């Protein structure tokens, strides 16, 4: 069908352009310094240098950064999933006074640009003595209104008869959440968890402000600092970039549909 | 019965408590605190009360207006190009072609990568001396560019070969900013594509059949059926992308390191301006005021979009 | 503004002819060599279970799909290669397919606008069609503001304004509730008569087929089973499938064998025996299926007498009183069957009754192929001349 070829050509060109930076990152990461800064550039390393990765890793305390990031990302994910699940359940299935107004207020917080929060949250952290600790990195982001929105949508879609049957079986509200609603919400919870982990892994601005010492740095902040320190060593830049990207790419490879589902659902407004 | 309602209400708020605490403490109350801070000469410690002095200082500071201009250029460029590309790619991917999910995966991939790492890679690609982009462009006869180091506006650069020098206000965003825009489009295109695909799949295929029988050609199909029915999705993308673009930071920080304002300050967007005033100059009060001004701009822009474009959106 | 001819030059004969039409999707044959002649002004119903290919046939006629084999002609003109808009057909979809973002007026006008009709003409046609379907007061509303029944009318009206040669309808009533469905059935038929239109109507509901059609084309697995007037489909089903599909409750089927005693043939279903005179030659012991409709089984209280009579004994298992009649589910040995019984007959669960097959009312089908075995009438002529295509 000639028609479909007309689509494939631009799509393939677009795909090549989209994938090119990854290709270029990897080939540079395997070059020695002279070849990396050679012009005209070579499209494939004439000599594979395996050294860059361990060198980049050791040039800055990336190990520590990694530990910090994993800890913070997991902590944040756990908090978000729990807090969002509880809140979404309340919004979806518990009749309480002022529910709609409170929900509107929650949604309104999504409108607040992060710039407004930088200064006051910083001062609050300092006052609490949380500056440069894990608390500063996790607590302000321990919930996500988008996650609440997603989970609420899911809980609303559960048939009412399910709750009726559970009541007759002697289940309380929390029991229903714990035994029935949350288990049924596993895909949505996984999506929320992955998106939260992804956000924590990628964060730059807030960690930059909330921590000062290099022991508490997260990966992205560390990578940014590395960029400054490793001045013109582009091959090391690329190796370091690849290292910080890798875990996220691996997770994506195994959990693609959750990420894509999460993105699609955000466009379906009530 | 009243006691049941009370019990439910208490239960409801108990469930909300964790989320409520976090939002109140770090998202809601800080807004008012920021307002408070903005009215003081606040360096590291709280200084004297200055009322709206910080605001007037910002409004009379050309650096502030420049940063706003940069942000608007950036948001405009990113939003418009992203939406157009997302619609084209998304539409192509909802046709019956093979390998659709592979394409979708590929286009979504950049969105997953950490902005910092990806920006580093693009900084290398855009390198003025050794970058691959200059090499490839050189193959088709386009002279090497300074990209992230280029302060001249893109309009000015494009008119250069013809010998026309546009006036100061018409030079357009600097090439440096355009480079960052290109990066951002690459990074976020996947999100738009997926959202557009979801929006398109919401259009029942029977409607297309009916339009074919009614005699609509492909162009009319697009204009009278697809785009109107896609308009809620596009509206959502536009609003969300704009709000996101106004908060952009990482790409600018990485790609213009160490001079975060970029060449002649032409990539210093509002977030960077606030960050520099806060982090580097420790003018906390001033930074807060600027943040609020930005808040109003974003709010105003969103309201504008809702009021002007909202009514033209066709809801099903 | 130039007013284009609203309809292609046709000889005003809106018949539809399919010759050997097949459609394959990958390895699946959805439509297998179907040939039908739909006459001008006829209400033809394509009837069959889901997946039988009836909707595909409709889509092939409309041009939304192209056939893998065969020819389709509308008005004696081949439509091969013609896009849907050039075939002078209009379609009413199962889910109505109204344009959600347009008003009812614009929905109806869209097809005419695409064909560049002048404003005044569009206006006139839309209002007339709206009048005909009593939706004139809804013209400015959007589809989401309408009830299901109203949306269905708009879908029909949209087809009418085009004044096409042929109307194609794909299960248009299936989304309506039962009462509305009955009412709309009658209205659609009246509309068709008034417009003298050719209608090809797809449904899985045999009641719709029986009540609305001039002729019914029964399909199964992509293959045309029988094309005939409703009553003839009922009285002379071409094969076991058609016999079982049309009629509610369905026809009873009994496994049996042919017995040739000297010159006369009879069929032995173990619990009963019926005579038959086949138009074709049958072997003794040949396996056969006997079909008897519930209303063709006579039931009387009390066990059957001696074996000489044609009655046999059965036990009532379930009795369903419907007011106008009773449906009695009976068991004889291992065989279960259903009979329609007079409401005044006192039958209860567990009662022993005697049953008889009304003479001449049994249908006979080949056990292997399911094809009808035609009988000769007393005057020696075949009992049913089946019209195929």
Domain boundaries, chain B: 1-31, 62-312
Say yes or no for a CB contact (<8 Å) between B109 and A18.
yes
- CB-CB under 8 Å, B130 with A37: yes
Optimal mutation site among A44, A96, A103, interface B, most CBs of chain B within 10 A: A96
Report residue C264: phi and psi, to 5°.
Answer: -100, 150
Q: How far is CA C293 from CA C257, C300, C317, C339, C360, in A?
A: 19, 17, 18, 8, 12
User: Looking at A68-72, B222-226, C371-375, which range is the least confident one?
Assistant: C371-375
**C85 at B interface, C-beta within 8 A:** yes
Q: How much is the pLDDT for C203?
A: 96
Judged by DSSP in three states, C287 sits in strand
Predicted local confidence at residue A44, as pLDDT: 86
Task: Round to whole Å and give the CA distance between A85 and A81.
Answer: 6
Annotation: CATH topology of C16-243: Rossmann fold (3.40.50)
Q: Which CATH class is domain B62-312?
A: mainly alpha
Residue A269: its pLDDT value, please?
A: 52
Residue in A6, A12, A16, A21 to test binding to B, most B beta-carbons within 10 Å: A21
Q: Residue C244: CA atoms inside 13 Å, Cβ hemisphere, count?
A: 15
Cα dihedral A76/A78/A83/A86 (nearest 10): 160
Cβ–Cβ < 8 Å for B286, B63: no
pLDDT the model gives residue A188:
92
Which residues lie closer than 8 Å to C369 by C-beta, 6 or more apart? C239
Instruction: Say if residue A32 is in the same domain as residue A59.
Output: no
Q: In chain A, positions 142-181, which contact chain B (CB-CB < 8 Å)?
A: 142-143, 145, 148, 173
C26 vs chain B: nearest CA distance in angstroms?
Answer: 14
Residue A240 vs residues A67, A250, B103, B130: alpha-carbon distances, Å: 16, 16, 27, 19
Q: Which pLDDT belongs to residue C383?
A: 52
- Cross-chain Cβ contact B314/C95 below 8 Å: no
Which of A121-130, B138-147, C207-216 is the least confident region?
B138-147
Residue C290 structure tokens: 């006997």
Is residue A182 domain-shared with residue A104, that is, in the same domain? Answer: yes
Judge if A37 and A94 occupy the same domain. Answer: no
B112 closest CB neighbour out of A86, A228, A259:
A259
User: pLDDT tier at B3 (50, 70, 90 boundaries)?
Assistant: low
Tell me the pLDDT band of C7, cut-offs 50, 70 and 90. very low
- Which of B13, B19, B246 is the best residue to mutate to test the A interface, defined by the most A CB atoms within 10 Å of its own CB? B19
Q: H or E element: which one contains C203?
A: strand C198-203
Cβ-defined contact of C114 to B216 (cutoff 8 Å): yes
Structure confidence at residue A270 (pLDDT) = 38
How close does chain B come to C351, measured CA to CA in Å?
54
Q: Would an 8 Å CB–CB cutoff place B316 in contact with chain C?
A: yes
Distance from CA of C55 to the nearest CA of B (A): 13
Which of B206, B207, B220 lies at the smallest CB-CB distance from C114?
B220
Cis bond leading into C257, ω under 30°? no
Separation of alpha carbons C325 and C36, rounded Å: 38
Tokens found for residue A90: 């309340």
The neighbour count for residue C94, using CB atoms within 10 Å, is 18
| Residue C389 confidence (pLDDT) | 35
Closest chain B residue to A194, measured at CA: B112
Mean pLDDT computed over B15-38: 93
Least confident range of B9-13, B30-34, B297-301, C66-70: B9-13
For residue C1, pLDDT beyond 50: no
Interchain contact C73–B (C-beta under 8 A): no
- Considering only CB atoms, B212 lies closest to which of C64, C94, C158, namely C64
* A58 vs B: CB within 8 A: no
- pLDDT, residue B199, reads 92
Do A and B count as touching (3 or more CB pairs closer than 8 A)? yes
Number of Cβ atoms within 10 Å of the Cβ of C160: 22
Instruction: State the pLDDT confidence band at A102, using cuts at 50, 70 and 90.
Output: very high
Asked if A124's CB is within 8 angstroms of B26's CB, the reply is yes
DSSP B24: I
Q: Are C46 and C54 in contact (CB under 8 A)?
A: yes
Domain boundaries, position A19? 1-50
| Average pLDDT score over chain C | 87
What are the angstrom distances between the C-alpha of B248 and each of A11, B40, B116, B272? Answer: 28, 27, 12, 9
Q: Note which residues in 90-149 of chain A have CB less than 8 A from chain B.
A: 90, 94-97, 99, 102, 105-106, 109, 111-124, 139-143, 145, 148
Q: Which chains touch C (3 or more CB pairs under 8 A)?
A: B
DSSP code at position B43: S
- Is residue C373 very low, low, confident or very high in pLDDT (cuts 50, 70, 90)? confident
Token output for C123: 């206006």
Q: Are residues A46 and A57 in the same domain?
A: no
Instruction: Specify whether A228 is located in the same domain as A127.
Output: yes
| A22, A227, A263 ranked by CB distance to B257: nearest | A227
Average pLDDT (A163-185) is: 87
Which residues on C lie below 8 Å from B211 (Cβ)? 99, 110
Kindly tell me if the per-residue pLDDT of C385 is higher than 50. no
pLDDT, position C9: 42
- Among residues 207-226 of chain B, which lie with CB inside 8 Å of chain C? 207, 209-217, 220, 224-225
Region C293-307: mean pLDDT is: 83
| B277-292 residue pLDDT tens | 998 888 999 999 999 9
- pLDDT, residue B143, reads 85
Question: Per mean pLDDT, which range of A84-88, A146-150, A259-263, B240-244 is the poorest?
Answer: A259-263
Which is nearest to A94 in space by CA: A165, A35, A181, A27? Answer: A181
CA angle A237, A243, A244 (to 5 degrees): 95
Judge if A78 and A188 occupy the same domain: yes
> What's the CA gap between A164 and A161, in Å, rounded?
5
Please state, in angstroms and rounded to a whole number, the distance separating the CA atoms of residues C288 and B242.
76
A with B: how many residue pairs have Cβ under 8 Å apart?
A: 280
Is the CB of C239 inside 8 Å of chain B's CB atoms?
Answer: no
Q: Under a CB-based contact definition with an 8 Å cutoff, are residues C72 and C78 in contact?
A: yes
Q: Tell me, yes or no, if A37 comes closer than 8 A to chain B by beta carbon.
A: yes
Q: What angle do CA B303, A153, B11 make, to 5 degrees?
A: 105
Nearest to A83 among B22, B105, B294 (CB): B22
Phi, psi of C157 (to 5 degrees): -60, -40
Q: Is the pLDDT of residue C6 over 70?
A: no
Q: pTM for this structure?
A: 0.84
Q: How far apart are CA C336 and CA C334, in angstroms?
A: 7
CA dihedral C323, C326, C329, C333 (to 10 degrees): 160
Check CB contact under 8 Å for B19 and A234: no
Residue C378 has φ and ψ, to the nearest 5°, of -50, -30
Q: Do chains C and B touch (3 or more CB pairs under 8 A)?
A: yes
Q: Tell me what the mean pLDDT of segment B295-314 comes to.
A: 91
- pLDDT band at residue C146, thresholds of 50, 70 and 90? very high
Residue B159: what pLDDT?
Answer: 84
| Mean pLDDT of the B174-199 span | 94
Name chain C contacts of B207, Cβ cutoff 8 Å. 97-100
Which of C53, C59, C13 shows the shortest CA–CA distance to C218?
C53
Residues B165-173: what's their mean pLDDT? 83
Size of interface B-C (CB pairs under 8 A): 63
C90 contact B CB<8A: yes
Domain with CATH 3.40.50.300 in chain C: 16-243
Residues B310, C49: Cα–Cα separation, whole Å: 46
**Contacts of B among chains (3+ CB pairs under 8 A):** A, C
CATH number of the structural domain C249-366 = 2.40.50.140
Same domain assignment for residues A90 and A169: yes
**Nearest alpha-carbon partner for B215 in C133, C102, C171, C91:** C91
3-class secondary structure, C117: coil
- Distance between CA atoms of residues C383 and C389, nearest Å: 19
Tell me, rounded to whole angstroms, the distance of Cα A136 from its chain centroid.
Answer: 17
Check whether C375 has a pLDDT greater than 80: no
Nearest to C232 by CA among C219, C220, C246, C221: C246
Helices (H), B129-278: 132-139, 154-159, 175-201, 205-214, 218-220, 227-245, 250-255, 270-275
Q: Is the dihedral angle over the CA atoms B88, B89, B95, B98 positive or is it negative?
A: positive
Q: What is the Cα–Cα distance from A53 to A192, expressed in whole angstroms?
A: 32
Contacts of B239 in chain A (CB under 8 A): none
% of chain B exceeding 90 in pLDDT: 60
Work out the minimum CA distance from C383 to partner chain B, whole angstroms. Answer: 44
What pLDDT is recorded for position B148? 87
Q: Identify the closest residue of chain C to B208 by CA–CA distance.
A: C97
- For residues A63 and C306, which has the higher predicted lDDT (pLDDT)? A63
The complex's ipTM works out to 0.90
Chain B residues with beta carbon closer than 8 angstroms to that of C84:
212-213, 215
pLDDT, tens digit (0-9, with 9 covering 90-100), for C211-253 = 999 999 999 999 999 999 999 999 999 999 999 999 989 999 9
Mark yes or no for CB contact B207/C89 under 8 Å: no
d(CA B79, CA B305): 13
Mean pLDDT in residue range B28-42: 92
Q: Which range, of A67-76, B149-158, C107-116, C219-228, averages the lowest pLDDT?
A: B149-158
Burial class (CB in 10 A: 0-12, 13-18, 19+), C65: middle
Contacting residues of A for B12, CB less than 8 Å apart? 90, 94-97, 99
Q: Give the containing element (helix H, strand E) for C317.
A: strand C312-321
Q: Which residues of B touch C96 (CB under 8 A)?
A: 206
pLDDT of residue A210: 92
Total domains present in chain A: 2
Do C and A touch (≥3 CB pairs < 8 Å)? no
Does the pLDDT at position A100 exceed 70? yes
């Amino acid at each position: 069908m000639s028609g479909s070829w007309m689509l494939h050509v631009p799509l393939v060109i677009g795909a090549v352009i989209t994938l090119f930076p990854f290709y270029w990152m990897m080939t540079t990461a395997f070059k020695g310094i002279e070849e990396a800064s050679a012009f005209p550039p070579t499209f494939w390393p004439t000599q594979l240098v395996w050294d860059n990765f361990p060198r980049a890793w050791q040039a800055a305390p990336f190990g520590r950064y990694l530990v910090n990031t994993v800890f913070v990302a997991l902590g944040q994910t756990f908090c978000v999933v729990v807090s969002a699940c509880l809140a979404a359940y309340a919004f979806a299935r518990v009749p309480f006074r002022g529910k709609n107004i409170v929900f509107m207020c929650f949604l309104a917080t999504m409108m607040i640009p992060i710039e407004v929060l930088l200064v006051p949250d910083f001062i609050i952290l300092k006052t609490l003595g949380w500056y440069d600790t894990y608390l500063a990195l996790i607590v302000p982001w321990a919930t996500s209104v988008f996650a609440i929105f997603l989970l609420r949508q899911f809980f609303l879609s559960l048939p009412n008869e399910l709750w009726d049957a559970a009541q007759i079986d002697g289940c309380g509200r929390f029991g229903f959440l714990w035994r029935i609603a949350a288990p049924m919400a596993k895909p949505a919870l996984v999506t929320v968890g992955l998106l939260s982990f992804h956000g924590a892994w990628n964060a730059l601005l807030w960690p930059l402000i909330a921590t000062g010492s290099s022991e508490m740095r997260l990966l992205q902040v560390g990578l940014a600092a590395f960029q400054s320190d490793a001045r013109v060593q582009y091959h090391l830049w690329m190796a370091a970039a690849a290292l910080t990207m890798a875990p996220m790419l691996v997770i994506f490879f195994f959990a693609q549909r959750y990420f894509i589902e999460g993105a699609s659902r955000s466009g379906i407004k009530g | 019965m009243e006691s049941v309602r009370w019990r439910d209400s208490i239960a409801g708020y108990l469930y909300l408590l964790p989320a409520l605490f976090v939002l109140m403490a770090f998202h809601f109350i800080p807004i008012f605190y920021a307002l408070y801070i903005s009215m003081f000469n606040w360096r590291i410690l709280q200084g004297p009360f200055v009322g709206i002095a910080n605001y007037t200082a910002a409004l009379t500071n050309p650096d502030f207006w420049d940063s706003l201009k940069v942000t608007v250029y950036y948001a405009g460029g990113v939003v418009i190009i992203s939406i157009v590309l997302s619609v084209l790619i998304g539409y192509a991917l909802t046709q019956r072609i093979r390998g659709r999910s592979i394409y979708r995966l590929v286009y979504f991939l950049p969105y997953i990568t950490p902005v910092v790492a990806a920006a580093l890679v693009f900084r290398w690609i855009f390198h003025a001396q050794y970058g691959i982009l200059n090499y490839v462009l050189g193959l088709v006869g386009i002279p090497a560019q300074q990209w992230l180091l280029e302060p001249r506006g893109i309009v000015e650069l494009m008119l250069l070969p013809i010998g026309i020098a546009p006036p100061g206000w018409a030079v357009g965003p600097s090439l440096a900013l355009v480079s960052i825009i290109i990066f951002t489009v690459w990074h976020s295109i996947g999100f738009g594509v997926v959202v557009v695909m979801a929006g398109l799949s919401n259009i029942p295929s029977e409607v297309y059949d009916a339009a074919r029988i009614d005699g609509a050609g492909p162009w009319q199909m697009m204009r009278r059926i697809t785009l109107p029915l896609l308009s809620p999705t596009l509206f959502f993308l536009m609003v969300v992308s704009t709000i996101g673009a106004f908060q952009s930071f990482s790409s600018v920080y990485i790609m213009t390191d160490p001079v975060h304002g970029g060449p002649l300050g032409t990539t210093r967007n509002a977030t960077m301006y606030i960050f520099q005033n806060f982090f580097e100059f420790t003018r906390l009060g001033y930074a807060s005021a600027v943040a609020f001004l930005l808040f109003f701009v974003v709010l105003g822009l969103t309201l504008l979009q809702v009021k002007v474009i909202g009514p033209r959106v066709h809801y099903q | 503004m130039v007013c284009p001819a609203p309809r292609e030059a046709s000889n005003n004969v809106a018949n539809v002819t399919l010759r050997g039409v097949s459609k394959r999707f990958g390895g699946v044959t959805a439509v297998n060599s179907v040939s039908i002649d739909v006459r001008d002004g006829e209400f033809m119903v394509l009837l069959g279970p889901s997946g039988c290919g009836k909707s595909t046939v409709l889509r092939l006629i409309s041009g939304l799909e192209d056939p893998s084999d065969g020819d389709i002609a509308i008005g004696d003109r081949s439509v091969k290669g013609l896009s849907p808009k050039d075939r002078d057909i209009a379609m009413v979809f199962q889910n109505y397919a109204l344009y959600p973002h347009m008003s009812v007026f614009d929905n109806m006008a869209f097809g005419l606008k695409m064909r560049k009709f002048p404003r005044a003409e569009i206006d006139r046609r839309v209002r007339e069609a709206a009048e005909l379907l009593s939706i004139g007061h809804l013209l400015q509303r959007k589809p989401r503001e309408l009830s299901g029944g109203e949306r269905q009318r708009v879908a029909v009206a949209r087809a009418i304004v085009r004044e096409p040669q042929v109307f194609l309808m794909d299960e248009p009533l299936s989304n309506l509730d039962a009462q509305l469905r009955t009412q709309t059935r009658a209205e659609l038929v009246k509309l068709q008569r008034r417009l003298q239109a050719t209608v090809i109507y797809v449904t899985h509901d045999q009641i719709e087929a029986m009540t609305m059609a001039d002729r019914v084309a029964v399909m199964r697995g992509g293959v045309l089973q029988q094309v005939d007037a409703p009553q003839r489909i009922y009285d002379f089903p071409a094969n076991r499938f058609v016999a079982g599909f049309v009629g509610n409750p369905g026809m009873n089927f009994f496994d049996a064998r042919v017995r040739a005693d000297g010159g006369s043939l009879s069929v032995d279903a173990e619990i009963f025996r019926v005579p038959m005179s086949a138009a074709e030659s049958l072997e003794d012991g040949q396996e056969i299926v006997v079909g008897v409709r519930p209303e063709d089984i006579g039931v009387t209280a009390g066990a059957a007498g001696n074996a000489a009579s044609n009655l046999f004994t059965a036990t009532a298992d379930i009795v369903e009183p419907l007011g106008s009649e009773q449906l009695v589910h009976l068991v004889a040995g291992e065989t279960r069957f259903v009979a329609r019984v007079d409401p005044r007959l006192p039958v209860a669960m567990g009662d022993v009754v005697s049953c008889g097959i009304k003479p001449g009312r049994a249908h006979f089908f080949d056990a292997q192929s399911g094809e009808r075995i035609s009988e000769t009438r007393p005057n020696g002529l075949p009992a049913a001349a089946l019209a195929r295509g």
